[in-house]
Structure 1
């Protein structure tokens, strides 16, 4: 049996209650395995996981959506990778930070926003833009949602559309990811994330508090998707069906996804993605706070 150890790890996590349940899809060349085990909900009701339920993707929104929108704008010549973000967000007071810094989490944005989750949308935007860059820009990777909030706002300033609208039009529709959404219509098909004392069970409502405030203007989180749609996305990044997917990312940008893109060649971040290697072959991966995960190995056609 292929991936015997992988399946054992998944089951072990459920059996030991590390996670309530797990949905998985594995692609290996022409082979394909998928399934689910365990529970989608333990409280207030115990409900089994079913095939292709929607998950709150959390930070996978960054690489499924926002990254690809920005790379399209670069390909179209509407922005340049080394542009200062102050060219598009003049309220920002550290002009040395570039688009590349945001995409690779090398901006070293510092500062603290008091009572951040209690602010209004306008107050939160103003507070984020009031932060500054530290002295380690381009030399260290510090993963920060702020990088992708800024990228979403830059895309909006250029196009006049919210980042969520741009993701729907430019990524989800051409890839036929019709089950992927920022606003699930049937919350009973959504795996819940948490019980919040003042709200109750979070099911179909985005978990990330900043995205709750920013709504359509958050490029850091917000997407809900299922296994079938994420498989379409993964196969796109594996290079399948290029005749119909080249409009999403051209060949140069698709190749760039699998290369080190940090300013000082740190070797650990691509555009949006964590970058690692297996026998010198690049592998990209990303996680989401809610427990979601994508791993893609284009060289071996695995994911």
Structure 2
């Protein structure tokens, strides 16, 4: 029996049942691979078949594929330290308590409402995020996933490197790893469309995330597009080769260990969510993206699961996808040890 039969059956069912228009995935065990691209790139206003090699809006996978490696490089070079206060690099932010570690692990307690956020300019939005956010009692007490943490990291990178975070990611991660399709500025023809929105129309070749749409190159939480082949390069290099030898062993190790300051075990490393292997409890890393993407990587067994879809097309109102994703995760974690 094929090891991932039930996982693949559930993946195909999402397309067959109309939960997602189409999908592209890779499951790998060392050199052995199971891969597929099928379904529709676009349903409305006209149908368009999904083509192999198309690039997807990765949404929050941008955090772990782009921003986290750059932060790790800056730590490795001594430009940044995990327990440095955010305020050291962003003095406009008034609270001295949150640290770089808090941003990476979503334990900063930073939150706040910005009125008319989507109507602001890039400079106005950045100023609002830096001056109108507060820190609540969840600091170092609770994991609360929030894009603001990675916006701050992106602006810290910009101030240390002298250019926008997305340009730094391109020069320091995408190019050295030879991720040739990965880009923040895709050809719309090669990009899988996302949502149809009032005001923006069909979003294709532009970032779906509204903050990313405003901030452009200054956004560290979303905006990256890539094909399956480039995510395969990234995933394999991360778990097999110290990210193409860009990072030292200590920093790769840090991605597979709980990095929060909360007592007990918690599920966040440097950017990644931690999962327990069902066989012996060793830790895997994973991350999802709002548009319908995910990565699961197991360094100990050289296994990985890369999934790309446009589950927000034509609308982001798609709770069934989230339900199915959770079940597929559970099935994969069970079958990977067969």
Instruction: Using structure 1 for the length normalisation, give the TM-score.
Output: 0.96
Secondary structure class of the residue paired with 1:129 = helix
Q: Residue 142 of structure 1 aligns with which residue?
A: 144
- 1:22 Cα deviation after fit: 1.1
| Count of residue pairs brought into register by the alignment | 299
The alpha carbon displacement at 1:198 in A equals 2.0
1:33: how far off? 1.6
Determine the C-alpha separation between the residues in 2 that align with 1:292 and 1:212: 19
Q: Distance in 2 between matches of 1:43 and 1:218?
A: 28
Give the C-alpha shift of residue 197 in structure 1.
Answer: 2.4
Deviations 1:42-72 (A, max 9, x none): 1111112111210000100000000110111
- Residue 251 of structure 1 corresponds to 249
In the alignment, does 2:179 pair up with 1:177? yes
Structure 1 counterpart of 2:330: none
Quick one: distance in 1 between partners of 2:112 and 2:48? 42
Moved beyond 3 Å, runs of 4+: none
Corresponding residue number in structure 2 for 1:270: 269
RMSD: 1.1
Contact 2:238 2:244 in 1 (8 A): no
Match of 2:202 in 1: 201
Partner of 2:310: none
d(CA) in 1 for partners of 2:28, 2:50: 21
Corresponding residue number in structure 2 for 1:282: 283
Equivalent residue number for residue 84 of structure 2: 83
User: Hey, what does 2:102 align to over in structure 1?
Assistant: 101
Deviation at 1:281, TM superposition (A): 1.2
Aligned position for 1:66: 67
Q: Deviations over 1:107-146 (max 9, x none)?
A: 0112211111111111111110121111110110000100
Give the C-alpha shift of residue 176 in structure 1: 0.4
Question: Residue in 2 aligned with 1:231?
Answer: 232
Give me the whole-angstrom Cα distance separating, in 1, the residues matched to 2:26 and 2:191.
Answer: 18
Whether the 8 Å contact between 2:111 and 2:148 is mirrored in structure 1 is no
| Cα distance in structure 2, aligned partners of 1:49 and 1:266 | 41
Q: Which moved more, 1:288-297 or 1:41-50?
A: 41-50
Gaps of 5+ in 1: none
Query: Any residues of structure 2 matched to 1:285-296 within 5 Å, and which?
Result: 285-296=286-297
Deviation of residue 188 (structure 1)? 1.2
